[in-house]
Amino acid sequence: MSLFLKQLGWELFRMFARKRTYIGFGVFVAVELVIYTLLTLDRSERNMERWIERVAGGFDHYFSALTLAFMIVAFTMLLLGAVFVSLVTGDIVAKETEDGNLRLLLVRPVSRFRLLLVKFLACQLYAIALFWFVGLTAFLVGLTERGWGGGMFVWTPELPRVSIFEWNEGLFRYFLAVTAFVIAYLPITGIAFALSCLKIKPAAATIVTIAYILADSILSKIPLPIFEDYQHWFITPKMQSWALLLYQDIPWPRVLESWMWLVGFGVTGFVVGWVIFERRDVKS
């Protein structure tokens, strides 16, 4: 076990030693700042004020650092989350195979399963770091603008109505939702990883993953009877499970059901990738 952790540690060290990693993080910060700017424009604030006053009352109380951070995170993840996660995971095997780095690892006395497991888990830990980074930076932006304290006002299309929390509960829910992004994005890491194990260009793994997620998202929203019987096969609605954690009363059975689907999808992606890679000849 300690050897496995050591291997995982070095894999993470390698991932975080890349300049590209920080460029990616920088892009997230840039997008967060753009969204923050848009949300704090006079017109946007006036609209928010009207809405909060009508639904919850007390704009100054509920338009807090947490509310602002939540909106920044939700929009940023919508814009960049899937792209960035599929980019990192799609690269993990395909790019290293293409560059030849993997050849140096595969001549070592280590099974392909173990090597892939180390890489897959490193991707998950990387995703946790990224989501927490996004969550923390958005929170810091919110704190800078609105200061500590107040309530939290939340609404997403997945919620039946708005949720309102006081500061401590809101803080807990906010970071719980941010952490839950890891499970929500497991299908993306699973698909990108499986594709990455094929003999294809790294960019192809990323593009196909994004195309799949996009198609799934569009098809799941088409209100045609033809899709009614297949609704449970669409994965993107289940990826919104992070928002369920922001319900006034968390619907745990629904959350757990979604998580099981998401974990199942992610693990299936890993197993498919492993089976593909296990049978492959690795040679330029």
Residues that bind another protein in the complex, under the rule CB under 8 A: 3, 6-7, 9-11, 13-14, 17-19, 99-101, 103-111, 115, 279, 281-284
In the complex with another protein, which residue's Cβ is closer, 1 or 17?
A: 17
Query: Which residue do the tokens 């810091």 mark?
Result: 140
Q: CB count, 10 Å around CB of 130?
A: 23
Residue 164 DSSP SS3: strand
Q: For residues 265 and 7, give the distance between their C-alpha atoms in angstroms, rounded to a whole number.
A: 25
| 81 versus 273: smaller Cβ distance to another protein | 273
Q: Shortest Cβ distance from residue 10 to another protein (Å)? A: 5
Q: How far is the CB of 113 from another protein (least distance, A)?
A: 11
CB of 279 to another protein, least distance (A): 8
Contact call for residues 239 and 163 (beta carbons, < 8 A): no
Q: Say how far apart CA 280 and CA 283 lie, in whole Å.
A: 9
Nearest to 149 by CA among 132, 133, 169, 177: 169
The answer to whether the CB of 155 falls within 8 A of the CB of 163 is yes
Q: How far is the CB of 24 from another protein (least distance, A)?
A: 14
Q: With respect to another protein, which residue has the nearer C-beta, 7 or 76?
A: 7
Nearer to another protein, 17 or 224 (CB): 17
Among the listed residues 51, 89, 277, the one whose alpha carbon sits nearest the alpha carbon of residue 190:
89
Q: Which is nearer to another protein, 25 or 59 (CB)?
A: 25
* Closest CB 108 distance from another protein, rounded Å: 4
In the complex, least distance from residue 73 CB atom to another protein, rounded to whole angstroms: 29
Nearest CA-CA partner of 186 in 219, 209, 217: 209
Minimum Å gap between C-beta 278 and another protein is 10
Nearer to another protein, 2 or 253 (CB): 2
Which of 187, 222, 12 is CA-nearest to residue 86?
187
- Nearer to another protein (CB atom), residue 109 or residue 160: 109
Largest Cα span, the chain: 65
Q: SS3 for 93?
A: helix
